[in-house]
Amino acid sequence: MSVLHLTVFLGLFSFNLALDNGLALTPPMGWLTWQRFRCITDCVKYPNECISEALIKRTADRMVDEGYLKAGYNYVGIDDCWLEKERDVHGNLVPDRQRFPNGMKAVADYLHDRGFKFALYQDYGTKTCMGYPGVLGHEAGDINSFVKWDVDYIKLDGCFIDTAKMDEGYPYFGKLLNDSGRPIVYSCSWPAYQKEPNYASIAKHCNLWRNWDDIQDSWGSLSSIMTWFAEHQDEFTKYAGPGQWNDPDMLLIGNFGLSLDQAKVQMAVWSILAAPLLMSVDLDTIRQEFKEILLNRDIINIDQDSLGKPGSRVWNQSKCEIWNRKLADESYALAFVNRRDDGAPYSVKVSFDSMKIPKQAYEVNDLYKEEMDRSFGPTGEFETRINPSGVKFYKFIPKKFNEIDVKT
Ligand SMILES: *[C@@H]1O[C@H](CO)[C@@H](O)[C@H](O)[C@H]1NC(C)=O
Ligand SMILES: *[C@@H]1O[C@H](CO)[C@@H](O)[C@H](O)[C@H]1NC(C)=O
């Protein structure tokens, strides 16, 4: 068997283990209501924040006008709290009549007309986490509604259901989605509710899955998620790839809880993890410096790298750590994260072994453009200085042989 054949064969083999609906070949990017807008339903008191058609429309407009769509953020999603509290007499889900006066198909049309895809939340249990009707016992009918409304992405939460039932329930719902014939990205909250998730099965049935706790608007929450992902990375990193992604939850960037440096940490580490990039922020009021982080093309390219192989934390010492991701072009994305809080920027000096990169010569580009590009290797140690709760994020690009030694 030639190398080419072997590659093709292995490629097919691994593809068969994935959910084969042709979707989410790179981590989904977009905007979701939950983290910023939660379950705000009082449009009289909070007209600019309530979960409503108006919020979706103004966000979509912003995403077009300000370049988010162009940068790749093409899913716009409504999380919990879009429903009436009761189904109709036929057992159908009913979007809130005040806040979605034209129904969900009108929302989908608005988004599709502008080049977006439409994401919607539901829950596998009897109720959603906030107490609206869940899909249990109504799976097929509800998928019918989603198809009628032209939904492109379903986030299926796991409140109000026995977690032991999820191992069959999530695949069953996925099968019904497939039977519907409409390509719908399937985001599962399944592992987040279980102690020992069966990731092989999850990766086979879902395009992405929430591994752990909800993110909250603070450095403490972000930091705990990074720690958890690092400590558990051997359990699930290997299951991610085109069509199947681990999901450490939404981006906090641009909201209240993160400093500029902390926001840079999230964008860097999320791109190393090949995480979905789902903003949840008021795009009418976001400050320019946060917007620049979300629109950093070099970092988006790392997240969306075609190899689709997530990275991991490869080193930590004295509350500093290195996150490493190998990219399709043989270069490496390396995030140096400082979790210290003792004032001045902290210097680290590390070997090739610590960084887990081959010993060779590199051109090193700072992805946040705070430093000049530099050369490093093929020997020596790499030194960098990182702000407290901050990051230095580099792309290490191997120098071609003829750029270094061949001087004839
Ligand atoms: C349904 O599954 C088949 C086989 O895995 C796949 O080829 C097809 O694209 C899927 N269709 C949808 C709509 O998900
Ligand atoms: C590495 O990080 C973990 C937390 O994820 C911590 O418990 C451990 O002590 C760290 N090791 C070092 C050498 O700092």
Among 214, 261, 282, 298, the one annotated catalytic: 214
Mean pLDDT of 238-252: 98
For residue 69, what is the domain's CATH number? 3.20.20.70
The CA distance from 115 to 75, in Å, is 9
Q: Which atom of ligand 1 is nearest to the CA of 22?
A: 9
Mean pLDDT of 372-399: 98
Per-residue confidence (pLDDT) for residue 57, from 0 to 100:
98
Among 157, 249, 303, 305, the one annotated catalytic: 157
Rg of the chain over Cα atoms, rounded to whole angstroms, equals: 22
pLDDT digits (tens, 9 = 90+) for 8-38: 444 444 444 678 899 999 999 999 999 999 9
Mean pLDDT of 333-340: 98
Per-residue confidence (pLDDT) for residue 407, from 0 to 100:
46
Mean pLDDT of 163-168: 97
Q: Hey, which of 17, 20, 180 would you mutate to test ligand 1's pocket, going by the most ligand atoms within 8 Å of its Cβ?
A: 20
Say whether both 258 and 383 belong to one domain: no
Number of domains observed in the structure of the chain: 2
Eight-class DSSP state of 92? -
Domain boundary among 266, 282, 303: 303
> The tokens of 75 are what?
């899913």
The total number of residues shown for the chain amounts to 408
Give the chain's mean pLDDT.
Answer: 95
Query: 93: domain range?
Result: 21-303
Mean pLDDT of 104-108: 98
Long-range Cβ contacts of 12-18 (<8 Å, 24+ apart):
14/241, 15/242, 15/243, 17/200, 17/203, 17/204, 18/203, 18/204, 18/241, 18/242, 18/243, 18/244
User: Is 157 assigned a catalytic role?
Assistant: yes
The answer to whether 217 touches 252, Cβ cutoff 8 Å, is yes
Nearest ligand to the CA of 15 is 1
Output the residue whose Cα is nearest ligand 1's atom 10: 21
Q: pLDDT at residue 80 above 80?
A: yes
Nearest ligand to the CA of 183 is 1
Output the residue whose Cα is nearest ligand 1's atom 5: 20
Residues with CB under 6 A from ligand 1: 20-22, 178, 181-183
In terms of Cα–Cα distance, which of 15, 299, 53 is closest to 61? 53
Per-residue confidence (pLDDT) for residue 19, from 0 to 100:
87
The CA distance from 275 to 310, in Å, is 8
Query: How many whole angstroms from 104 Cα to the centroid of ligand 1?
Result: 25
Residue 329 CB neighbours (<10 A): 12
For residue 368, what is the domain's CATH number? 2.60.40.1180
For residues 405 and 114, the model is more confident at 114
Q: Hey, which of 312, 316, 354 would you mutate to test ligand 2's pocket, going by the most ligand atoms within 8 Å of its Cβ?
A: 316
Q: Which residues pair with 172 in a beta bridge?
A: none
Domain boundary among 279, 303, 327: 303
Q: pLDDT at residue 303 above 60?
A: yes
Q: Is residue 406 part of a domain?
A: no
Say whether both 78 and 120 belong to one domain: yes
Q: pLDDT at residue 368 above 50?
A: yes
Q: pLDDT at residue 72 above 60?
A: yes
Output the residue whose Cα is nearest ligand 1's atom 1: 178
Q: Is residue 9 part of a domain?
A: no
Nearest ligand to the CA of 243 is 1
Domain boundary among 271, 303, 335: 303
